[in-house]
Chain A
Amino acid sequence: MKSAVVLVPGLNRDRDMIAALTKVSGQAPATLWQTETTLPEGLDLIVIPGGFSFGDYLRCGAIAARMPVMRAVADAAKRGVTVLGVCNGFQILVEAGMLPGALMRNTSLKFVCREVKLQVTNANTAFTRQYQPNQIIRCPVAHHDGNYFAEPEELERLEGEGRVVFRYAENTNPNGSINDIAGIMNASGNVLGLMPHPENLIESAHGGDDGRGIFESVLAKAA
């Protein structure tokens, strides 16, 4: 699998993501600095990792979404390249208009870092094939603004089209997100944003590998 990780100042889970992609695919991803306007040929996957791009100033992901590299990522997505945004990456995808809705401040108004349960609501996607439908997996979260919001019509569309891919399960919603939404995808099914951090749960040192399935699914698709 040929993958690439987007780098914007303030992102800080880039190293975690690069390590996870390397361990799962056996190949280190390329990196894409914020100013780049052309992408390497033949990419199967572009990942926007978590962190605090531009300090989360203004709105989470707002400034990063307007950096040149994101135009190239949007073009690649239009051509069908698989794009995954995790945490701040999800916020950036939303701010870039590549996913609908908005991610608001957690209802507790506090940063929250803990493990939650996720339901794989749609196991028939490029990102979730390795899971069973409605399987419950463990996954850590670490964010301040993960409270997903969408207008009622938009929400209906997301739910109706099976584009809510992950949901917080067993009363573990950590942020007040509407319909317990933890991850959604675009209409073509090649762009996924999710708040939790699967890259931090892929090996025994992490205390489990429930997050691996996402990377393995994408890998299987690429193969």
Chain B
Amino acid sequence: MISNDLAITSDLVASHGLKPDEYQRILDLIGREPSFTELGIFSAMWNEHCSYKSSKKWLRTLPTTGPQVIQGPGENAGVVDIGDGDVVVFKMESHNHPSYIEPYQGAATGVGGILRDVFTMGARPIAAMNALRFGAPDHPKTKHLVSGVVAGVGGYGNAFGVPTVGGEVNFDARYNGNCLVNAFAAGLAKSDGIFLSEAKGVGLPVVYLGAKTGRDGVGGATMASAEFDEKIEEKRPTVQVGDPFTEKCLLEACLELMASGAVIAIQDMGAAGLTCSAVEMGAKGDLGIELDLDKVPVREDAMSAYEMMLSESQERMLMVLKPEKEAEAEAIFVKWGLDFAIVGKTTDDLRFRVLHQGVEVANLPIKDLGDQAPEYDRPHVEPKKPAPLAANDIPQADIADALLKLLNSPDMSSRRWVYEQYDTLIQGNSLQRPGGDAGVVRVEGHASKALAFSSDVTPRYCEADPFEGGKQAVAECWRNITATGALPLASTDNLNFGNPEKPEIMGQLVSAIKGIGEACRALDFPIVSGNVSLYNETNGQAILPTPTIGGVGLLKDWDRMARIAFSGENQPILLVGAPQQWGTHLGQSVYLRDIHGRNDGPPPPVDLEAELKVGIFVRGLIERGVAKSVHDLSDGGLAVGLAEMAMASGIGATVPGLADIDPIPVFFGEDQNRYLVALDLDAQGSEFEALLREAEAAGIFAPWIGTTGGTDLKLGQARAVPVADLVNAHESWFPAFMEG
């Protein structure tokens, strides 16, 4: 066991990820040299992962409020009102570095962590999503990472019992050295049944609940903030193993305990477990905390104070309980077979005191641990805007061939191989499972309400222009939710970037946050929770900037809900929100990248005013019951959008195209704020007529571009492609890649 009196050398300080000036700040704050355990506590509290020291200044600029927001950033998860006394509680969090080292356990514990954030607040988890980015398909590690991560996400979520209703998977060589695993979870609670981490009352018992503490992930939070290098093998033993069974018991025990009225404050142990959770509970409540480590349930011998304070063993909670309810609480812990112990008490001296084997191993000012964490305004350079493509720069290809090739490509192919490994229907409320625009889950106990969930970002757009890319991520998420008929309520973000100490990377982060903020404000889509993951770099190569946006929307009546499948034959198809030429923008399109190997040009700009207007119009059509089949356009443009609607239904369509206009941008342009809407109306009838006039009056271009029916998809002059061939192309890439 390493002694707490270990000499604090500059090497030791550096190996804790603390810079010399940060260490000086510690010396100034406490007026003496820290003990070894104290150094560990500071390193955990002040690393990027817990302190947000590089991003805080910019996160503050995000919109986080609105009449619907009950709890914004600052707690374990955000809380949003959905009426009738119900609230939805949600957040997204990354587990990138651990998943690269041990994909199954890394992804599994990522899911476990985010579920815990949600039920710590008193909500029963009802939906999960996962946003995944991997290296190039032909990179030797990619397959191993895909199979491990997907199995891990499923292994944990399925056993816990939450339906996984959405997510993303992308491949790009820029993720070769750093995969991304962003996990989202949402839960339902009553507005008067929300639990917070703020401790109240002096001299009250601090109770430890859940699994025993081991040496798992000691140094893990520090690892998450360190750039990878060749010595990654040495970091292996810090892997944490997830136990979804214990988590499920913890969920049920916590909800029972909360219902019993025994809980004053509760905080899950995530990164830097006991340290972060105890400090947060005390600091928020303006109280001190005293911990007696001899009481902590441990599963390994001879654990030092340092190890116990930094352990990231999973499935653990800390709470402050009402002393008079202790017996009742204990009965619940015993029923669910969970370890528990009174490990400390609240005090009135604002100190964070840690005792181990009769010795005080730490005694620190509790508020300063969080409040005095360094905050940086890191130098950043404005990203260069890419030059637009020349007007006549339209590389040609056969439309049908290009469509089939795109549908069979790594990024555009069906994700069925992935989501069939996830339980998508447990709880019996899944109205839309993965494969559509957004996952939709019915609100239990309510006759007609449902919630829609989507997670989106287009990293190649963000690389080309982080500001527009940030806007686009928000807009696409909002659009996907709108396409089901739901009203987008609020969002969560997971900002994945490279090393912020490099001004270009910091520039990406700053611009992306500005874009996200602008879009969230314009669309009334406040950010209520989130997570930042920096230092996603290996040997100096950073990932594509990847600010994932997770959004939640409310459907008043799920009987009036749209899906992406065509709902019948002979229905007129409108392209709502299109420019006059239907499609124009090829810069950063998958068509240019995957058919012509080019990644130049600016990404498509998002006109936020138009986005809002078009979205409101489309939602109106769905609410009126005339649009049962709606799909937003994104990667691959009109051609891919139509193909996806056809494949989901087995019904073809004929879309004649425009005369005298190059069909390539028409069918493959990725112009924003567009939806395909197939109407349950007679195209000769007066209602259809009236609807077109209505769009015109609203200033929305919504041309009737074609009609559903038959078994082929006919795009302009291109050869007709049987829907069965589309399906075959779309479904075959992933299994062939993974099993080939």
Instruction: List A residues at the B interface (Cβ < 8 Å).
Output: 9-10, 12-13, 15-16, 19-20, 51-52, 54-57, 110-114, 140, 142, 144, 197, 199-200, 205-206
Contacts and interface: CB of A to CB of B under 8 A. Distances in A.
Interface residues of B, number: 30
Given A52-B158, A55-B244, A10 B249 contact: yes
27 contacts: A9-B245, A10-B248, A12-B159, A12-B160, A12-B426, A13-B426, A15-B428, A16-B427, A16-B428, A19-B428, A55-B245, A55-B246, A111-B421, A113-B158, A113-B419, A113-B421, A113-B422, A113-B424, A113-B425, A140-B425, A142-B425, A144-B158, A200-B425, A205-B429, A205-B431, A205-B558, A206-B428
Interface in B420-444: 420-429, 431, 442
Contacts of A205: 429, 431, 442, 558
Given A55-B243, A205-B558, A10 B159 contact: yes
Nearest to B246: A55
Contacts of B420: 110, 112-114
Nearest to A113: B423
B158 A142 contact: yes
A57 B242 CA distance: 13
A140 B424 CA distance: 10
Interface of B: 151, 154-155, 158-161, 243-246, 248-249, 252, 336-337, 419-429, 431, 442, 558
Nearest to B422: A113
B442 A55 contact: no
B425 A9 contact: no
Nearest to A144: B158
A54 B151 CA distance: 19
Contact of B337 (A9, A16, A113, A197): A9
A144 B155 CA distance: 9
Contacts of A142: 158, 423, 425-426
A12 B244 CA distance: 11
Contacts of A52: 158-159, 161, 244-245, 248
Contacts of B252: 9
A144 B156 CA distance: 13
Contacts of A112: 420-421
Contacts of B431: 205
Contacts of A55: 159, 243-246
A112 B419 CA distance: 9
A110 B421 CA distance: 7
A221 B239 CA distance: 54
B366 to A, nearest CB: 36
A9 B249 contact: yes
Nearest to B431: A205
A9 B336 contact: yes
B334 to A, nearest CB: 11
Which 10 A-B pairs have CB atoms at the shortest separation, nearest pair first?
A12-B161, A55-B245, A52-B159, A16-B428, A142-B423, A10-B245, A111-B421, A113-B423, A111-B154, A200-B425
Contacts of B425: 113, 140, 142, 197, 200, 206
A47 to B, nearest CB: 14
A134 B269 CA distance: 53
B423 A56 contact: no
Contacts of B159: 10, 12, 51-52, 55-56
A15 B248 CA distance: 14
Given A111-B155, A113-B423, A114-B420, A57 B245 contact: yes
B697 to A, nearest CB: 36
Contact of B161 (A51, A54, A57, A110): A51
Nearest to B416: A114
B718 to A, nearest CB: 33
A13 B249 contact: no
A10 B154 CA distance: 15
B560 to A, nearest CB: 13
Nearest to B161: A12
A222 B429 CA distance: 28
A112 B416 CA distance: 11
B422 A12 contact: no
Contact of B248 (A9, A19, A57, A114): A9
Contacts of A144: 158
Contacts of A206: 425, 428
Which of A54, A111, A112, A142 gathers most chain B CB within 10 Å? Answer: A111
A16 B154 contact: no
A152 B41 CA distance: 62
Nearest to B424: A113
A102 to B, nearest CB: 20
Nearest to B164: A113
A140 to B, nearest CB: 6
Nearest to A112: B420
A140 B431 CA distance: 14
A16 to B, nearest CB: 4
B158 A111 contact: yes
Contacts of A19: 428
A111 B427 contact: no
Contacts of A56: 159, 245
Given A56-B159, A111-B154, A205-B429, A12 B248 contact: yes
A206 to B, nearest CB: 7
A110 B419 CA distance: 11
Which of A15, A113, A199, A200 gathers most chain B CB within 10 Å? Answer: A113
A140 B158 CA distance: 15
B445 to A, nearest CB: 10
A113 B162 CA distance: 13
Contacts of A111: 151, 154-155, 158, 421-423
Which of B158, B244, B558 gathers most chain A CB within 10 Å? Answer: B158
B258 to A, nearest CB: 18
A56 to B, nearest CB: 7
Contacts of A13: 161, 426
B151 to A, nearest CB: 7
Nearest to A56: B159
A116 B676 CA distance: 31
Contacts of B422: 111, 113
Contact of B428 (A10, A114, A200): A200
B427 to A, nearest CB: 6
A178 B558 CA distance: 40
A21 to B, nearest CB: 12
Nearest to A109: B151
Nearest to A35: B335
A72 B534 CA distance: 55
B501 to A, nearest CB: 41
B84 to A, nearest CB: 18
Nearest to A57: B245
Given A111-B421, A142-B158, A199 B428 contact: yes
A12 B427 CA distance: 8
A200 B428 CA distance: 5
B739 to A, nearest CB: 9
A9 B116 CA distance: 18
B421 A20 contact: no
A12 B245 CA distance: 10
A144 B246 CA distance: 19
Which of A10, A12, A144 gathers most chain B CB within 10 Å? Answer: A12
Contacts of A57: 245
B210 to A, nearest CB: 14
Nearest to B244: A55
Nearest to A110: B421
A187 B245 CA distance: 34
Contacts of B424: 113
A121 to B, nearest CB: 25
Nearest to A7: B252
Given A9-B336, A16-B426, A51-B161, A110 B151 contact: yes
B443 to A, nearest CB: 11
Contacts of B161: 12-13, 51-52
Contacts of B245: 9-10, 52, 54-57
A19 to B, nearest CB: 6
A63 B429 CA distance: 29
